[in-house]
């Protein structure tokens, strides 16, 4: 059926269906019209879901089902449908207990089977899928599991050696041991090398002695420490015979099996937070705590029984870098979960915009659907394109991680830092826009979108402050540039190979055809990255020529560094989109992805940096904006299918995404 005709029919039905006006009201009553009945899927949403979820789709549905079918996950019926979401009106203490009960339930159902006792791609991908699913239910559940599995478990796996693996991993997988990760202190977060906790070795007894020498050295934000954890990995300076050997990691028991805090350990709560109240974040002080010698996680350095320091890595910088491995995997998990929160928010906001009307264009005409306003399309549809782009980039990042080799470590570090920062920032932006797009209903906790802002704000801080991570990305690009120049060799790695080719040229007049051409889009993104990298190197070199140290020079050039970091991320994300699109046969799926890819590229190119540095003329800037609005209206008919493909089951969205009139009816009070 012709679309326009269909729309008219829908509007007519809307009018005819309305009950006759009562003497008290001049307006007909509104009724909820499900978008499923008026919108058509032009492509196979299951196929799309398989593509963007990328892996373990059946496993995901099984885990969603485990949660939906259990009373522990707080099911409530609203508007005739079941929704699951924690009761955030409970006290923080109650929420923590519920998080723990949910973990026990999932454990009993085998949800974490082989998570720590098996290695390899298959199990790592399964774990990623699990974490993504749990994050969709609740960030506290994700975070508490994350602290135990990828921080505590990851520390033992990456920093420990065989006897640690044998002693701790199986018991951790079964939660006989509940682990946490004590890195951050009140006085030191991102600068881990500055932590003040001190550990010395007592060769007379053969164990370490750990101390919190001052208040700023208290361990802070330790997820799991306040109530449940029995063990922790502590990051501490290691002093051997008066020499500080730098930061090392130790396993320390903090509670006995009955949950009593161990002697010489003091633990306090971090208090109520703006989100994540289902996680028991705690503070820890150590008072001459005795730690057995074999509890030093000794993959890179060890202490002999007689107290000699032994390390396979001489360079303290490299030694320290090796200790950061668990944080890298943490960044991958965080980046991926951020994408799924954007999916939840967009699915709710777009479904709502397909059912909520506001203002008539002419008197007595039906009010217009929110998503039929070009301005509303412009607010939400580019965010959907961004979310698709992030999905492909997240899948790329996961594959990069599970196929890691010693040689790819540097790339993983740079890409995970860049994507973690970019995705979590994007997510906060998307959540805010979606909250506003839902109007007042977005403020209700049960509708999720607004509440997620508080829950996910922390992602821009944990596993590395976003700003600092992005500075590191720029520094790494600077390093790659210098290395290529010094050795007079071509750029290789980090996607910088385009630097070896002639500089792309942007046509003086950008037509619609050019703007939608992937070659142009890639050229435009590469051009910015290339120019900003050149400028950054030039400015840093100039500062150094003026007598500043490299570190000082980086600090002075922070504005360029930020722009460069963003340019790298945008280009790297775009690259993954192109690659995903290329895997598809011609057809409706590829067509819609091509349009989304163009939209994603154009919102990147619309960024102020293109005008600031003069890559686009003012006229071309206007052409880009015009094309964006055109694409938004082209994608409008696909809006429902695009968010259905996110694969978030209905019970994990919110009442606002469905029959919000019935959900708010008097009979449901």
Binding residues for other proteins, rule: CB under 8 A, are 9-10, 13, 17, 31-34, 36-38, 44, 58-59, 61-62, 64-66, 68-70, 79-82, 108-110, 649-651, 658-659, 662
CA dist., res. 120 & res. 83, Å (int): 35
Residue 620's closest CA among 611, 609, 629? 611
Give the whole-angstrom CA distance, residue 313 versus residue 311.
5
C-alpha to C-alpha distance for 431 and 444, rounded to whole angstroms: 14
CB contact at 8 A, 254 and 232: yes
Q: How far is the CB of 439 from other proteins (least distance, A)?
A: 21
The answer to whether 602 touches 624, Cβ cutoff 8 Å, is yes
Helix (H) or strand (E) holding 244: strand 243-253
- Bridge-partner residues for 302, per DSSP? 310
- DSSP characters for 170-191? HHHHTTSS-EEEE--BSS-SS-
Task: List the one residue out of 451, 415, 224 whose CA is nearest residue 341.
Answer: 451
Looking at the Cβ atoms of 105 and 309, the one nearer to other proteins is: 105
Residue with tokens 């599970």: 402
Cβ atoms of 221 and 281 closer than 8 Å: yes
Q: Return the closest-CA partner of residue 303 out of 208, 167, 161, 194.
A: 208
Cβ neighbors of 71 (< 8 A, separation 6 or more) are: none
Q: How far is the CB of 556 from other proteins (least distance, A)?
A: 53
Closest approach, Cβ 369 to other proteins, in A, equals 15
User: Between vectors from CA 537 to CA 534 and to CA 541, what angle results, nearest 5°?
Assistant: 140
Q: How far is the CB of 452 from other proteins (least distance, A)?
A: 20
Q: Are the C-beta atoms of residues 597 and 518 closer than 8 Å to each other?
A: yes
Cβ pair 151, 326 in contact under 8 A: yes
Distance CA 636, CA 411 (A): 37
Write down the least CB distance from residue 113 to other proteins, Å: 9
**Those residues with Cβ within 8 angstroms of residue 152's Cβ, 6 or more apart along the chain or in another chain:** 172, 179, 180, 181, 231, 232, 233
- Work out how close the CB of 619 gets to other proteins at its nearest, in angstroms, rounded to a whole number: 45
User: What burial class does residue 307 get, using C-beta atoms within 10 Å of its C-beta: 0-12 exposed, 13-18 middle, 19+ buried?
Assistant: middle
CB of 63 to other proteins, least distance (A): 9
Which two three-digit tokens encode residue 110?
């085998």
Question: Looking at residue 276, what DSSP letter applies?
Answer: -
Q: How far is the CB of 64 from other proteins (least distance, A)?
A: 7
Least Cβ distance, residue 566 to other proteins (angstroms): 37
What DSSP designation does 153 have? I
Nearest residue (CB) to other proteins, 111 versus 145: 111
CB of 110 to other proteins, least distance (A): 7
Which residues, in sequence order, are bridge partners of residue 75? 84
Give min distance, CB of 443 to other proteins, in A.
24
| Residue spans of alpha helices (H) in 408-465 | 409-437, 449-456
Sign of CA dihedral 226, 229, 230, 231: negative
CB of 66 to other proteins, least distance (A): 6
Residue 666: CB minimum distance to other proteins, A = 13
Q: Which is nearer to other proteins, 109 or 625 (CB)?
A: 109
- Tell me which long-range contacts 610-619 makes (C-beta under 8 A, separation of at least 24): 610/524, 610/528, 612/563, 613/528, 613/531, 613/532, 613/535, 613/563, 615/506, 615/524, 615/527, 615/528, 615/531, 616/506, 617/508, 619/509
**Cβ nearer to other proteins, comparing 491 with 658:** 658
- What six digits make up the tokens of 127? 């774990």
Of the pair 69, 91, the CB lying nearest other proteins is at 69
Enter the tokens of residue 577: 């989109």
Nearer to other proteins, 16 or 505 (CB): 16
Minimum CB–partner distance for residue 527 and other proteins (Å) = 42
- Least separation in angstroms between CB 62 and other proteins: 5
What is the C-alpha separation between 571 and 529, in angstroms, rounded?
8
For the residues of 525-544, what is the DSSP string, one character each?
HHHHHHHHHHHHHHHHHHHH
Bridge-partner residues for 198, per DSSP? 211, 237
Listed in sequence order, the residues at least 6 apart from 648 whose beta carbon sits closer than 8 Å to its beta carbon are 136, 340, 343, 344, 347
Rounded Cα distance, 309 and 412, in Å: 30
Q: How far is the CB of 586 from other proteins (least distance, A)?
A: 17
């Amino acid at each position: 059926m012709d679309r326009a005709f269909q729309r008219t029919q829908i509007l007519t039905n809307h009018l005819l269906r309305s009950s006759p006006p009562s003497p008290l009201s001049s307006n007909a009553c509104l009724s909820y019209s499900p978008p499923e009945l008026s919108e058509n899927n032009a492509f196979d949403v299951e196929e799309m879901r398989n593509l963007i979820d990328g892996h373990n789709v059946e496993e995901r549905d099984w885990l969603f089902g485990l949660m939906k079918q259990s009373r522990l996950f707080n099911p409530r019926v609203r508007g005739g449908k079941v929704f699951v979401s924690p009761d955030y009106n409970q006290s923080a203490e109650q929420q923590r207990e519920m998080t723990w009960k949910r973990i026990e339930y999932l454990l009993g159902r085998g949800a974490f089977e082989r998570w720590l006792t098996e290695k390899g791609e298959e199990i790592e991908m399964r774990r990623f899928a699990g974490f993504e699913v749990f994050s969709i239910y609740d960030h506290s559940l994700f975070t508490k599991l994350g602290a135990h599995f990828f921080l505590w478990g990851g520390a033992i796996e990456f920093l420990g050696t065989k006897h640690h693996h044998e002693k701790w991993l199986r018991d951790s997988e079964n939660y006989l041991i509940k682990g946490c990760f004590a890195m951050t202190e009140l006085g030191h977060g991102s600068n881990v090398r500055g932590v003040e906790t001190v550990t010395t070795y007592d060769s007379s007894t053969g164990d370490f002695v750990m101390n919190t020498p001052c208040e700023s050295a208290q361990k802070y934000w330790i997820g799991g420490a306040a109530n449940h954890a029995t063990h922790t990995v502590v990051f501490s300076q290691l002093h051997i015979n008066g020499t500080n050997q730098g930061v090392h990691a130790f396993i320390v028991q903090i509670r006995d099996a009955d949950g009593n805090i161990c002697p010489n350990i003091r633990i306090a709560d971090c208090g109520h937070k703006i989100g994540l109240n289902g996680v028991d974040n705690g503070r820890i002080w150590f008072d001459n705590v005795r730690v057995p010698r074999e509890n030093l996680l000794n993959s890179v350095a060890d202490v002999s029984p007689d107290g000699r320091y032994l390390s396979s890595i001489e360079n303290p910088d490299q030694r320290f870098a090796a200790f950061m491995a668990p944080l890298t995997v943490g960044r991958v998990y965080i980046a991926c979960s951020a994408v799924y929160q954007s999916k939840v928010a967009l699915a709710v906001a777009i479904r709502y915009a397909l059912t909520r009307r506001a203002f008539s264009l002419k008197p007595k005409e039906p009010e217009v659907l929110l998503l039929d306003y070009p301005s509303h399309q412009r607010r939400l549809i580019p965010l959907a394109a961004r979310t698709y782009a992030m999905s492909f980039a997240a899948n790329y990042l996961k594959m990069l991680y599970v196929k890691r080799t010693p040689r790819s470590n540097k790339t993983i570090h740079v890409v995970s830092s860049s994507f973690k920062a970019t995705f979590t920032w994007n997510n906060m932006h998307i959540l805010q826009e979606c909250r506003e797009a839902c109007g007042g209903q977005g403020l209700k906790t049960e509708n999720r979108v607004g509440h997620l802002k508080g829950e996910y704000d922390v992602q821009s801080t944990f596993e590395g402050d976003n700003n600092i991570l992005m500075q590191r990305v720029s520094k790494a690009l600077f390093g790659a540039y210098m290395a290529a120049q010094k050795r007079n060799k071509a750029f290789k790695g980090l996607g910088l190979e385009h630097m070896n080719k002639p500089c792309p040229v942007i046509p003086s007049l950008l037509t619609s055809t050019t703007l939608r051409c992937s070659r142009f889009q890639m050229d435009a993104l590469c051009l910015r990255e290339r120019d900003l990298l050149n400028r950054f190197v030039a400015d840093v070199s100039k500062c150094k020529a003026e007598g500043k140290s490299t570190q000082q020079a980086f600090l002075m050039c922070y504005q360029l560094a930020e722009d460069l970091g963003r340019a790298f991320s945008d280009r790297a994300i775009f690259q993954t989109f192109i690659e995903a699109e290329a895997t598809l046969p011609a057809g409706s799926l590829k067509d819609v992805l091509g349009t989304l890819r163009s939209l994603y590229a154009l919102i990147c190119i619309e960024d102020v940096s293109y005008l600031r540095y003069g890559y686009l003329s003012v006229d071309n800037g206007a052409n880009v904006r015009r094309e964006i609005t055109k694409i938004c209206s082209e994608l409008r008919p696909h809006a429902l299918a695009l968010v259905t493909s996110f694969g978030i089951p209905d019970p994990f969205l919110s009442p606002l995404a469905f029959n919000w009139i019935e959900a708010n009816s008097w009979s449901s009070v």
